[in-house]
A and B are shown apart, each in its own frame.
Chain A
Amino acid sequence: MNNQDPKAGNSKDQKKAAKEKKSTGPEYTGYDLDYFVQTKDLFNAVHKLDQSGFFLEDISCLDMEEGFQMVYHFDRFEQPGRVGLRVMLDRQDPQVPSIYDIYPGAAWHERECFDFFGVRFTGHPNLIPLLLDPDHKGPPPLLKEESERKGLDQLYPDREQTPLSPDDQDFMRKIQECSNLKSRTQS
């Protein structure tokens, strides 16, 4: 029992150190670019990623105080680098345009989000349960209790949360230059 106290102290120091390091970049998060975009801009942004040769890794979703946060992960074969696109959705009416027309592989990922969170994808050709039983009764399984939900400020305390416009000149240049080479040489 005596050993535990100094250990706890150490892990606290480690945590602090990790927290300070975290802000320094991709080698600690795995993201080379990570943006919030508005729901109406999502299709446009994904279209630009498609033109730059990215493939869709997966589509993830989080239940938060502000609503649902959709996270789209993209990576590239030539010149690898991970891009995350985040969209905030309203809890009362969680709707987001489907990106099936650009990436047909998104169809299953979107059906999975529909299963687990009840998010509706407008324009999806076949939005029916994929992994859950069609007879499943009750709320989607990954919804959190209201008391357990965390807000954006709690989960992402020190990062830019203002949505970026994909029509920005900067956006196109950055995704074209996106590469994990820098983080590779550092780590």
Chain B
Amino acid sequence: MSLDLRLDTSGDFYANKFQPTKRDDTLILNMGPQHPSTHGVLRILLEIDGEYIIRAEPVLGYIHRMHEKMAEVKTYAQYLPNPSRTDYLHALAWGWAHVGALERLMGLEVPERAEYIRVITCELNRISSHLLWWGAYLLDLGAFTPIMYAFDDRERIQDILQRITGSRLTYCYYRFGGVSNDIDDRFIEETRVQCARMKERAKMFKDLVTDNFILRKRVEEIGEIPLDTCRKYGATGPVLRGSGQAYDTRRAEPYSVYDRFDYNIPTYDTCDAMGRYLVRMDEMQESINIIEQALNGLPEGDFIHPKAPKRPKPPVGDVYFAVEGARGKIGMHLVSDGSNSPYRLKLRAPGFSNLSLFSEVAQGILIADAVSILGSLDLVIPEIDR
């Protein structure tokens, strides 16, 4: 087999590949990788006719770190901090996918209290992720003030999580068979106060931003993604629910103790950026709902299984484990050969599939609307590039 890819890489490789065009009156424009609205290092090649986009092609890989290779050369325990570096905004869900895959493979039991703690912390993290998306998205659309309100609440959630997990962003809190640290009365008290506060704030967010005429002009009927396009591209999470499909991994493929809680899956069938916006705003309230139910039903017991392995050596096997992250379905395909590191670990990043439909949606829209659509997809580039 020839391992040499034999590519002509002189000049700008991706621009050269993108260049051939049927028309001679259009312009090729690079958006990013330093463009503020791409939230990190995403580059998008655009062929434009005046203000209108004819073709668009995202170029990835600027922050690629080969997490899948790292999994193969590290042991399971050494890999624990890695998943939270992929999607740093919903780090706990990625950590959960990793420990969950191994627990499924080894048949490890997780104590009930640990499952409840995981649900509470993961949902808190989901709220903080949606808050940051909310602030940053509005910043993209030209509204500066909301991000200040968003970070106010986000800081409080981070303070709560910092006391328990030891970090503010890239949490490494879940362990095989439980969590690393028990929660205490102060955590419960602070979480209850924050939940009550978030409910009050939601009204202000609605009055200040959601009902705002200028915002609605920027997001309503912009970037319509039909449901079948979502299916063809494998889009999940708020993007899919904003197109009217009530699909949530927590409900469709229940893991942990999610089947014990009563919560709605918000959906909007407008398929536009406003639909995706409203789904996330409603999801924050549903997460608060779940947290309050979990706090009320929090059982006593161990926070980690007493016989949980510190350096696991799972049996030979092939498992798939999926959780619902803030951006959609996070999947881990783990193949073990019986040694203390995976034979192969494939990470399914929801943002990867969600972004892949952008080329199709972007045809024929204004550049300003492209910013609105990219923001409504809630991209986290390190997760997409892995």
Contacts and interface: CB of A to CB of B under 8 A. Distances in A.
Interface of A: 7, 10-11, 14-15, 17-19, 21-22, 28-31, 53, 55-58, 60, 62-63, 71, 73, 75, 77, 80, 82, 84, 91-94, 103-105, 107-108, 116, 118, 126, 128-136, 138-142, 150, 154-157, 180, 184
Contacts of A131: 60-61, 64, 385-386
A107 B107 contact: no
B3 A140 contact: yes
A104 B343 contact: no
A55 B265 CA distance: 20
Contacts of B337: 150, 154-155
A129 B314 contact: no
A155 B318 contact: yes
B162 interface: no
The 8 closest A-B pairs by CB, nearest first: A105-B233, A30-B320, A18-B107, A60-B346, A80-B252, A58-B348, A134-B13, A131-B61
A30 B316 contact: no
A30 B356 contact: no
Contacts of A31: 320
A105 B357 contact: yes
Contacts of A156: 318
A30 B318 CA distance: 9
A142 B7 contact: no
Contacts of B234: 55-58, 103, 105
B60 A130 contact: yes
Contacts of A11: 307, 309, 312-313
B368 interface: no
A29 B321 CA distance: 8
A22 B7 contact: no
Given A105-B356, A155-B343, 17 more contacts: A11-B309, A18-B105, A22-B317, A28-B107, A30-B320, A30-B321, A57-B329, A58-B346, A60-B346, A108-B356, A118-B3, A131-B60, A131-B64, A134-B9, A136-B5, A142-B69, A154-B316
B307 A129 contact: no
A133 B90 CA distance: 27
Nearest to B322: A30
B155 interface: no
B360 A133 contact: no
B114 to A, nearest CB: 17
Contacts of A14: 106-108, 307, 309
B68 interface: yes
B44 interface: no
A61 to B, nearest CB: 8
A60 B360 contact: no
B353 A138 contact: no
Contact of A53 (B17, B231, B235, B312): B231
B43 interface: no
A17 B107 contact: yes
B333 interface: yes
B249 to A, nearest CB: 9
Nearest to B231: A55
A19 B315 contact: yes
Contacts of B253: 75, 80, 82, 180
Contact of B317 (A10, A29, A103, A142): A29
B79 interface: no
Nearest to B254: A184
A169 to B, nearest CB: 26
B320 A128 contact: no
A143 to B, nearest CB: 8
Nearest to A74: B234
Considering residues B68, B318, B319, which has the most beta carbons from chain A within 10 angstroms of its beta carbon?
A: B318
Given A30-B321, A103-B232, A155-B335, A134 B357 contact: no
A92 B348 CA distance: 28
Nearest to A104: B232
Interface in B205-236: 230-235
B293 to A, nearest CB: 20
A78 to B, nearest CB: 8
Interface in B296-325: 307, 309, 312-322
A34 B240 CA distance: 26
